[in-house]
C-alpha cells in the first residue's frame, strides 16, 4: 500500500506548475499578512504567566505603587560634590519639563526635602560636628556670601590675612584654602582639567556627617519613562532624551561630569541591542555554512536552490501562522526562525539525498522522487509528529515565552513537512537537476559497520558507561538563572548596575513587602530587621528622622549665629573687572608678606604659589579671569545654598513628608511598603537565595527583584521538567502506536537520553552553566535526536543493514551539519546568553550525531532481512 505522503509527492511531481502556483499564492498571502500584522514585544515581564503566585504578588505591589515599575536611572558622578549636586538638580528639572518622554522624575538621594532635612538623619554627634564646622568657617563664609565672585574670594582671603597679621590666627590655619585654590588655578593655567570644591574644603573633617557637609560625588535621578512596546527598544526615545538634555546642560567630562544610564528599561533595550549587534555576521555565517552543507549533501546547486526555496516559503508561512496563534512574537518565541531553519531543512535534505540515490536506479525523475517518498514517508511523518509533540509539550507550562515558541515551532514542523512533500518535489521537477555521477552512500564506512556489529557488546558497555557518567554529572551541573548574567557586562547599563551593586545602599536586589497600613509595616520591619540575612528595613517612617528635638535645637543655635553671615542684608554690588584686578593684586601682596613673615615651610610655600596665581590672573585677559570665575564661583553658590537649606531644618512627621516621598511608600488605599536589603557584602546567587528564603519564612507574600530572580528560576526550571516529562510520555506513546514494539521505542529514545546526559556532562567539564537562554537547546536536542533515531529505527525494522554506508546516514550527517550551521553561528553573538545557547547547541548536536552514528547501529544490532535503506 502506497504511503499517503508518497501519493502527495507523486501528485506534486505530475502537476509541478499547479503545485508551484499554489505554493507561491500561499507564500505571498502569508507574506502580506505577516507584513501587516507583525509585532514583537520586548516586555520581559510577559515571558512568564501572570497567574503564578509570585507574579500575583508582583501585580499587587504594582497596583499599589504603579510608579515603581519601568525605570530609567541616571547616575551622575561629579569631579566635585558641587558639580554632582548641581548637575543632578539641573538634569532632573529639565527631564521633569519633558512629559513627552517622562511621566515622573525624582531624586532618590537628593532634592529639596533632603537638602533641608538631611542633617537630621545623622546622629546628634554628626549634627554637632557639622554645625561646629560651619560656625568655625564663619570668618571666611561672611565675605564669600556677601560677594560671591572672584573679587569676593580675593577679599575673603585678604580678611583672613589681616587676622594673621594681627596675630589672631596663623598662616597654617588658612593653609588648606590657600593650597586648594593654588592647585586649582595652577592646573587651569597649565591647561589641565581643574575643578574646585568648597564643600570638600570646609567639610573635610566631617567624614561621618550625613547632612550638608557630607561630600557625595555621586547623585541619582530616577525617571518613569514613556514607553512604546511596539518599538524594538521601547525606552530608546527616553534615554535619547536624557542624553540630549545632558548635552544641552554641558554635562560631560570636560565639565567634570560622568553621566551613565541604567535601570530596567535601559537594561532591556541594551539586551536587545546586544542581540542585534553583529547580527549580520551571525546571519552571513549561517547562510554560507548552510549553502556549503547542502551542496556537500546533494552535490547539485539546483537541488540546493529547491531546498532553500522551500525552507524560505515555509518560514514565511510559519510566521503568519505563528502570528495567528499567539498574536505577537516575544523575545523567546522569535527564536522559531533558526529553529525552523535548523529542523525544517532536515526534511529537505532527507528527500534530496534519497532522490539523488534513487535516480541511479530509476529511469525518470518522477519515479525516483516517488520511490524516495515511498521509502521515507513513514519515518518523515513520524519524525515530524514526534518533534511537533516535543515542542507542544511546553504549552501547559507557566513559561509563556517558551510555550509560545513551542506552539509556533510545532506548527512549523507541520508546515515544513507539507511543503517538503509538495513544493519541494514540484521545484525539483521544474529545475531538472543533472544526473548524479556516483553512489551517494559511503562504501568506505563498511569496516565501521562491521566493527559495530562484531564488537557490539563493548560498544554497548561503552554506551552504559557513558550513561552512568552522564547521570553522575547531574550532581555537578551548575544552574545559573540570574538574568543579569545573560547580559553583556561591558554594556553601559549593565556595567553601571554592577557598579551600583557594590554599594549596599544602592543594591537593586531588594525585597518588597506590602503591609495593610503603616503601623503594620513598621512592626514587620522591626521583626524582619532581626534576621541576620537582613541588612536594612525601610518604610515611610524611615524618612522621619529620630530624636529631632535636640538636633533641631543645635541647628537653630547655628542658624542664629550664621543667619546674617549666610544671608547678608546688603550684598556687595558688582565691582567690575578693574575692581577684581585690584583685589587680586592687593591679596597677592598680602600673601607674599605673610609668607615672608612665616619663613619657609608648607604654608609659606602655598602662600607664594597662590600669590603668583593671583598676580597671573590680575595681569591676564578678562577671558582668563572669566574662566577662573567659572571654576570657583558656581561651586561656591552651590555650597552656600546647601548650608542655608541645612540650617532651615524643620520638624518632620509622616503627614508633612513630601508627596513625592510619601507616594513611594504609602499607597492611596493606605497600604504601606517595606523594602529590605541584604546584610553584608556577599551578593552571590547563593547569598541571594538565603536572603529570600529567610524573609519568606516571615513574609511569604514578599516580592521585589531578589524574589523575582529566584522565583523565575524555579518557574523556568519546573517548566522544562514538566515539558520534558510530558514530551517523553507523548512521544513514547506516538512511537509505540506506530512501531508497536516497546523495544524499538527504547532503541529510539535511549540514545536521545544519552546525548542529553553527555551534553550536561560536557557542560560540567567546560564550566558552562545552564541558564535561561541555553536551556532552550534541550527541546531542540530532543526534537533532532528523536527525528534522527526514528530514521534509523524505521530503516532497520524494514530490514536495512550497513546503515553507516547508506544514503540515509549521509542525509543524517549533513542534516546535523545544517542544523549546526543554523545554531552554531549563534556562538558568534555578542549577547552572552545567545552565545552560550549556540555553544550548547553545537555540543548537543555533536553528541546527538555520535549517538546516532555509533551507538544506534550497535543498539539495533544485526538484521536478518536486508534491503537498501
Least confident interval from 383-397, 528-542, 645-659, 808-822: 808-822
Residue 545: which pLDDT band, with cuts at 50, 70 and 90? very high
What percentage of the chain has pLDDT greater than the value 70? 94
Top mean-pLDDT range of 168-177, 408-417, 563-572, 838-847: 408-417
The pLDDT value recorded for residue 20 is: 96
CB 536 within 8 Å of CB 676 = yes
Q: What are phi and psi of 398, to 5 degrees?
A: -85, -5
Q: Which CA distances in Å does 317 have to 26, 30, 390, 426, 430?
A: 7, 5, 21, 18, 22
CA–CA dist 756, 758 (Å, integer): 5
Q: How far apart are CA 161 and CA 722, in angstroms?
A: 81
For the stretch 247-250, contacts whose Cβ atoms lie closer than 8 Å and that sit 24 or more positions apart, written own/partner, are: 248/94, 249/87, 249/90, 249/91, 249/94
Question: Please, which contacts does 213-218 make with residues 24 or more away whose CB atoms are closer than 8 Å?
Answer: 213/130, 213/133, 213/134, 215/81, 216/81, 216/84, 216/109, 217/77, 217/78, 217/79, 217/80, 217/81, 217/84, 218/75, 218/76, 218/77, 218/78, 218/84
**DSSP per-residue string spanning 223-275:** EEE---TTSSSTTHHHHHHHHHHHHHTT-SGGGTEEEEEESHHHHHHHHHHHH
Query: Measured between alpha carbons, how far is 136 from 565 in angstroms, rounded to an integer?
Result: 12
Is the torsion defined by CA of 163, 165, 167, 173 positive or negative?
Answer: positive
Section 690-719 average pLDDT: 89
Q: Is the pLDDT of residue 208 over 60?
A: no
Q: What is the pLDDT of residue 438?
A: 57
Q: For 106-141, what is each residue's pLDDT tens digit?
A: 998 888 898 899 899 988 998 998 899 888 888 888
Report whether pLDDT(159) > 70: yes
Q: Is residue 1 scored above 60 in pLDDT?
A: no
- Tens of pLDDT, residues 320-363: 999 999 988 877 787 788 778 877 788 898 899 889 888 888 88
DSSP category for residue 640: H
Q: Cell match 550513561: residue?
A: 467
Query: Which range, of 261-265, 609-613, 772-776, averages the lowest pLDDT?
Result: 772-776
Which residues make beta-bridge pairs with 221? Answer: 74
For the CA atoms of 20, 24, 25, 30, the dihedral, rounded to the nearest 10 degrees, stands at 140
pLDDT at 690: 92
pLDDT of res. 441: 56
Mean local confidence (pLDDT), 67-83: 89
Question: Band of the pLDDT at 777, cuts 50, 70, 90?
Answer: confident
- Cell readout for 6 is 508518497
SS3 78: strand
Containing 450, the helix (H) or strand (E) segment is helix 446-454
Residue 536 burial class via C-beta count within 10 angstroms: exposed 0-12, middle 13-18, buried 19 and up:
middle
pLDDT in tens, 236-256: 899 999 999 999 999 999 899
Residue with cell 560625588: 217
pLDDT in tens, 400-412: 888 898 899 899 9
> What does the alpha-carbon distance between residue 573 and residue 863 come to, in Å, rounded to a whole number?
109
Q: Residue 723: pLDDT band by 50, 70, 90 thresholds?
A: confident
- Tell me the domains of the chain and their CATH numbers: 4-45+272-483+710-860 (1.20.1640.10), 70-261+546-646 (no CATH)
CA–CA gap between residue 677 and residue 600 (Å, rounded): 54
Angle value at C-alpha 252, between 251 and 255, nearest 5 degrees? 85
Q: Residue 128: enclosing H or E segment and its boundaries?
A: helix 124-136
Kindly report, residue by residue over 171-201, the tens digit of the pLDDT: 888 888 899 999 999 999 988 888 998 887 7
Confidence of residue 95 (pLDDT cuts 50, 70, 90): very high
User: Roughly how many angstroms between the first and final C-alpha of the chain, as a whole number?
Assistant: 18
pLDDT exceeds 80 at position 100: yes
Give the list of residues 6+ apart from residue 45 with CB closer than 8 angstroms, or none. none
Q: Does residue 845 have a pLDDT over 80?
A: yes
State mean pLDDT over 765-792.
81
pLDDT of residue 204: 47
Residues 278-294: pLDDT tens digits? 666 767 777 888 888 88
Give the pairing of strands 72-78 and 257-262.
antiparallel
Within 13 Å and on the Cβ side, how many CA atoms surround 521? 23
Left, alpha or beta for 559 (phi > 0: left; psi -120 to 50: alpha)? alpha
Interatomic CA distance for residues 589 and 599, integer angstroms: 15
pLDDT value at 867 more than 70: no
The answer to whether 819 and 845 are in contact (CB under 8 A) is yes
DSSP state of 699: -
pLDDT of residue 424: 95
Say if residue 313 is exposed, middle or buried (CB neighbours under 10 Å; 0-12, 13-18, 19+).
buried
Angstrom distance (rounded) from CA 262 to CA 255: 21
The Cα–Cα gap between 747 and 134 comes to 85
pTM of full prediction above 0.85: no
Mean pLDDT of 137-157: 88
Q: What is the pLDDT of residues 479-537, one digit of tens each?
A: 877 777 777 788 888 889 888 887 766 777 889 999 999 999 999 999 999 999 999 99
Please enumerate in sequence order all residues whose Cβ is within 8 A of that of 479, keeping only pairs 6 or more positions apart, or say none: 713, 717, 769, 770, 771
Give 222's strand partners.
73, 106
pLDDT of amino acid 323: 94
Q: How many CB atoms lie within 10 A of CB 192?
A: 8
**297 with 8: CB under 8 angstroms?**
no
**Cα 269 from chain centroid?**
8
Report how far apart, in Å, the C-alpha atoms of 30 and of each of 16, 413, 655 are.
21, 16, 61
CA distances from 724 to 167, 336, 394, 396, 482 (A): 88, 19, 8, 12, 22
Task: Of 14-18, 270-274, 814-818, give the lowest mean pLDDT range.
Answer: 270-274
Extract the C-alpha cell encoding 117.
532635612
Q: Which residues fall within 8 angstroms of residue 220, CB to CB, at 6 or more apart?
A: 73, 74, 75, 76, 88, 107, 108, 109, 110, 506
Task: Dump the DSSP string for 373-410.
Answer: HHHHHHHHHHHHHHHHHHHHTTTTSS-HHHHHHHHHHH
The whole-angstrom separation of Cα 172 and Cα 155 is 19
Q: What's the pLDDT band for 169 if we cut at 50, 70, 90?
A: confident
List, in order, residues 6 or more apart from 73 with CB less than 8 Å away. Answer: 220, 221, 222, 223, 261, 262, 263, 266
Least confident of 40-54, 364-378, 601-615, 730-744: 40-54
Q: Which tops the pLDDT comparison, 211 or 496?
A: 496
Q: How far, in Å, are 474, 477, 769 from residue 766 at the CA level?
A: 14, 11, 9
Question: Can you give the pLDDT at residue 205?
Answer: 43
CB 219 within 8 Å of CB 87: yes
Amino acid at each position: 500500500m502506497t504511503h499517503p505522503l508518497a501519493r502527495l509527492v507523486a501528485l506534486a511531481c505530475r502537476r509541478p506548475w499547479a503545485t508551484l502556483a499554489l505554493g507561491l499564492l500561499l507564500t505571498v498571502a502569508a507574506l502580506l499578512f505577516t507584513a501587516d500584522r507583525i509585532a514583537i514585544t520586548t516586555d520581559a515581564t510577559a515571558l512568564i504567566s501572570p497567574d503564578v503566585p509570585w507574579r500575583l504578588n508582583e501585580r499587587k505591589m504594582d497596583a499599589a505603587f504603579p510608579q515603581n515599575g519601568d525605570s530609567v536611572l541616571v547616575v551622575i558622578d561629579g569631579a566635585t560634590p558641587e558639580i554632582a549636586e548641581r548637575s543632578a538638580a539641573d538634569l532632573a528639572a529639565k527631564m521633569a519639563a519633558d512629559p513627552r518622554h517622562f511621566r515622573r522624575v525624582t531624586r532618590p538621594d537628593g532634592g529639596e526635602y533632603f537638602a533641608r532635612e538631611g542633617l537630621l538623619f545623622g546622629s546628634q554627634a554628626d549634627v554637632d560636628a557639622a554645625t561646629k564646622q560651619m560656625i568655625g568657617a564663619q570668618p571666611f563664609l561672611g565675605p564669600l556670601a556677601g560677594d560671591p565672585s572672584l573679587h569676593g574670594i580675593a577679599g575673603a582671603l585678604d580678611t583672613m590675612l589681616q587676622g594673621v597679621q594681627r596675630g589672631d590666627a596663623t598662616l597654617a590655619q588658612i593653609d588648606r584654602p590657600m593650597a586648594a585654590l593654588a592647585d586649582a588655578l595652577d592646573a587651569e593655567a597649565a591647561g589641565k582639567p581643574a575643578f574646585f570644591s568648597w564643600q570638600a574644603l570646609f567639610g573635610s573633617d566631617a567624614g561621618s556627617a550625613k547632612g550638608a557637609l557630607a561630600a557625595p560625588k555621586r547623585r541619582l535621578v530616577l525617571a518613569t519613562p514613556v514607553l512604546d512596546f511596539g518599538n524594538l527598544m521601547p525606552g530608546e526615545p527616553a534615554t535619547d532624551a536624557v542624553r540630549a538634555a545632558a548635552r544641552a546642560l554641558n554635562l560631560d567630562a570636560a565639565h567634570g561630569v560622568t553621566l551613565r544610564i541604567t535601570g530596567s528599561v535601559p537594561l532591556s533595550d541594551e539586551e536587545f541591542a546586544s542581540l542585534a549587534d553583529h547580527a549580520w555576521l551571525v546571519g552571513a555565517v549561517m547562510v554560507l555554512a548552510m549553502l556549503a552543507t547542502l551542496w556537500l549533501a546533494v552535490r547539485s546547486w539546483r537541488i540546493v536552490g529547491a531546498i532553500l526555496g522551500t525552507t524560505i516559503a515555509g518560514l514565511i508561512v510559519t510566521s503568519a501562522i505563528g502570528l495567528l496563534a499567539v498574536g505577537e512574537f516575544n523575545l523567546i518565541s522569535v527564536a522559531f526562525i533558526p529553529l525552523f531553519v535548523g529542523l525544517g531543512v532536515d526534511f529537505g535534505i532527507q528527500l534530496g539525498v534519497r532522490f539523488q540515490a534513487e535516480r541511479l536506479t530509476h529511469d525518470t525523475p518522477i519515479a525516483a522522487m516517488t520511490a524516495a517518498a515511498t521509502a521515507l514517508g513513514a519515518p518523515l511523518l513520524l519524525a515530524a509528529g514526534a518533534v511537533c509533540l516535543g515542542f507542544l509539550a511546553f504549552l501547559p507550562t507557566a513559561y509563556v515565552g517558551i510555550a509560545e515558541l513551542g506552539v509556533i515551532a510545532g506548527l512549523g514542523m507541520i508546515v515544513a513537512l507539507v511543503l517538503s512533500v509538495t513544493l519541494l518535489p514540484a521545484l525539483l521537477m521544474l529545475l531538472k537537476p543533472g544526473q548524479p555521477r556516483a553512489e551517494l552512500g559511503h562504501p568506505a564506512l563498511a569496516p565501521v559497520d562491521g566493527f559495530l556489529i562484531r564488537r557490539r557488546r563493548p560498544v554497548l558497555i561503552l554506551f552504559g558507561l557513558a550513561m552512568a557518567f552522564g547521570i553522575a554529572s547531574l550532581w555537578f551541573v551548575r544552574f545559573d538563572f540570574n538574568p543579569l548574567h545573560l547580559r553583556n557586562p561591558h554594556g553601559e547599563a549593565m556595567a553601571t548596575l554592577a557598579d551600583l551593586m557594590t554599594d549596599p545602599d544602592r543594591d537593586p536586589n531588594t525585597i518588597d513587602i506590602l503591609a495593610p497600613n503603616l503601623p503594620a509595616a513598621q512592626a514587620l520591619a522591626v521583626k524582619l530587621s532581626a534576621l541576620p540575612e537582613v541588612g536594612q528595613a525601610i518604610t515611610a517612617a524611615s524618612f522621619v528622622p529620630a530624636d529631632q528635638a535636640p538636633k533641631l535645637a543645635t541647628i537653630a543655635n547655628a542658624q542664629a549665629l550664621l543667619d546674617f553671615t549666610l544671608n547678608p542684608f546688603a550684598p556687595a554690588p558688582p565691582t567690575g573687572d578693574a575692581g577684581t584686578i585690584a583685589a587680586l593684586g592687593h591679596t597677592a601682596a598680602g600673601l607674599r608678606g605673610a609668607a615672608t613673615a612665616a619663613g619657609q615651610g608648607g604654608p609659606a610655600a602655598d602662600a607664594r604659589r597662590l600669590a603668583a596665581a593671583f598676580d597671573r590672573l590680575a595681569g591676564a585677559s578678562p577671558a582668563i579671569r572669566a574662566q577662573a570665575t567659572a571654576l570657583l564661583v558656581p561651586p561656591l553658590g552651590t555650597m552656600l545654598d546647601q548650608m542655608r537649606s541645612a540650617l532651615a531644618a524643620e520638624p518632620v512627621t509622616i503627614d508633612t513628608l513630601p508627596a513625592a516621598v510619601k507616594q513611594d511608600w504609602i499607597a492611596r488605599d493606605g497600604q504601606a511598603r517595606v523594602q529590605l536589603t541584604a546584610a553584608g557584602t556577599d551578593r552571590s546567587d547563593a547569598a541571594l537565595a538565603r536572603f529570600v528564603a529567610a524573609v519568606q519564612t516571615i513574609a511569604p507574600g514578599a516580592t521585589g527583584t531578589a524574589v523575582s530572580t529566584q522565583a523565575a528560576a524555579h518557574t523556568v526550571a519546573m517548566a522544562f521538567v514538566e515539558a520534558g516529562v510530558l514530551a517523553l510520555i507523548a512521544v513514547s506513546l506516538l512511537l509505540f502506536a506506530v512501531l508497536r514494539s516497546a523495544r524499538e521505542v527504547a532503541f529510539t529514545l535511549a540514545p536521545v537520553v544519552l546525548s542529553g546526559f553527555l551534553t550536561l556532562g560536557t557542560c560540567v567539564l567546560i564550566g558552562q552553566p545552564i541558564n535561561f537562554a541555553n536551556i532552550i537547546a534541550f527541546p531542540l536536542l530532543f526534537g533532532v535526536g528523536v527525528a534522527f533515531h526514528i530514521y534509523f529505527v524505521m530503516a532497520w525494522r524494514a530490514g536495512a543493514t550497513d546503515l553507516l554506508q547508506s544514503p540515509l546516514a549521509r542525509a543524517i550527517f549533513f542534516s546535523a551539519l545544517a542544523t549546526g550551521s543554523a545554531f552554531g553561528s549563534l556562538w558568534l553573538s555578542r549577547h552572552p546568553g545567545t552565545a552560550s545557547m549556540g555553544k550548547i547547541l553545537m555540543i548537543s548536536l555533536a553528541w546527538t550525531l555520535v549517538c546516532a552514528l555509533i551507538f544506534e547501529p550497535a543498539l539495533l544490532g544485526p538484521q536478518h532481512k536486508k534491503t537498501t535503506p
